[in-house]
Structure 1
Amino acid sequence: MEYLIKFNSYLNKVLLFFSGISVLILTGIAAANMFLRIVYSPIPGSYELVGFFGAVATGLALGYTQIRKDHIIVTMFTDKFPRTVNRILDGLNYTVNTIFFAIISWETYKWGMKIARTGEVSETLKVIYHPFVFCLAIGFAALSFSIFVDFIKLLKREASA
């Protein structure tokens, strides 16, 4: 159990690091584009690049955000339920979300493979963009794994309670 938690934490910190690099890149592109628009000419395809790096930044940070419980959770109805019912609902939620995001990860990966196979490129810059899609697939897989670890923690709490 501890190994899963440590591995999950390490994996998502590494992904968060690359997410941060992506934020720095997209910020640099956006700032340079604004400056160059005033003094010379804007960077061609900057909107496209900012979109790609924004998707990577968001996708790779999903698992870490789950570990910190920084996602929005609406509990206005479940707060009134007994603790046992809340644990059952949490378990059901973790199960459904683990499966859902695993499917999303797999489908995103398949989409990236299709794009790579067909040689599809971005509209403006004509760059291959399947690596960005693969980053999203990795981010969704990390989120699914983080939710699965939360489910295991919930089961361990129930066993010790």
Structure 2
Amino acid sequence: MDRLMGIFSKSFMVVGGAALLLLVLLATANVGLRFFHAPYSGTYELVSFLGALVTAGALAHTQRRKDHIVVDILSEKFPPGVKRFLDAVNYAATSLLFGVIAWQVWVWGEKIKIGGELSETLKISYYPFVYAVAAGFGLLALVLLVDLLKTMVRSEVPR
């Protein structure tokens, strides 16, 4: 399961990285075009959509690498068994939280799809990007679930 999560999280990270590259190129090109008084219309919309992909793509892989900020001022003083218990509770709660977030974002995407909502300038459908964000949160929830299982099986505290 851990290997599968690695494949999915790296795939999402690659998509997020490609979106970041496109975002930077688009923003840079638009600045250059503004110099000639010919900015690309719809840049704001595209940058927003690409920014959502960048964020959604990075969530799970960042968790797998444990690159999120960890505040352990109090927990570092606890014995290893207590740390493991607290980590397990944390992983369970955050997995549940991000699972619910993924589900609700997906439901929101369904509403947008049914409503046929489009971006104002370029008339691009919002829902594929909303689904991508939901998938990113869902994958994060699964990675946290795997972390919970690892914490319950191992005797050492993962960091």
TM-score bin (small chain): over 0.9
Taking the TM superposition and a 5 Å limit, the aligned residue runs for 1:1-161 are 4-158=1-155
Rounded to whole Å, the distance in 1 between the matches of 2:21 and 2:131 is 20
Q: CA deviation at 1:81?
A: 1.3
Report the residue type matching 1:137 in the other structure: A
Aligned to 2:108, what secondary structure does the other structure show?
helix
Q: 1:84: how far off?
A: 1.2
Which shows bigger deviation, 7-16 or 123-132? 123-132
Give the secondary structure class of the aligned counterpart of 1:61: helix
Q: What do the CA deviations read for 1:57-108 (whole angstroms, capped 9, x no partner)?
A: 1111100000000011110111111111111110000000010000000000
Could you tell me how far apart the structure 1 residues matched to 2:91 and 2:155 are? 14
SS in 1 for 2:101: helix
Which ranges of structure 1 fall in alignment gaps of 5 or more residues?
Answer: none
Task: State the Cα distance separating 1:123 from its structure 2 match.
Answer: 2.6
CA deviations over 1:120-153 (Å, ceiling 9, x no partner):
1123322211111011001001100111111111
Residue type of the alignment partner of 2:63: Q
Measured in 1, the distance between the counterparts of 2:114 and 2:146 equals: 34
Aligned residues: 156
Q: 1 CA distance for matches of 2:105 and 2:25?
A: 27
Q: Which runs of 5+ in 2 are unaligned?
A: none
Moved over 4 A (4+): none
Q: Give the letter for the 1:23 counterpart.
A: L
The percent identity for this pair of structures is 41
Cα shift readout 1:1-24 (whole Å, capped 9, x = no counterpart): xxx111010111111111111111
- With normalisation by structure 2, the TM-score equals 0.94
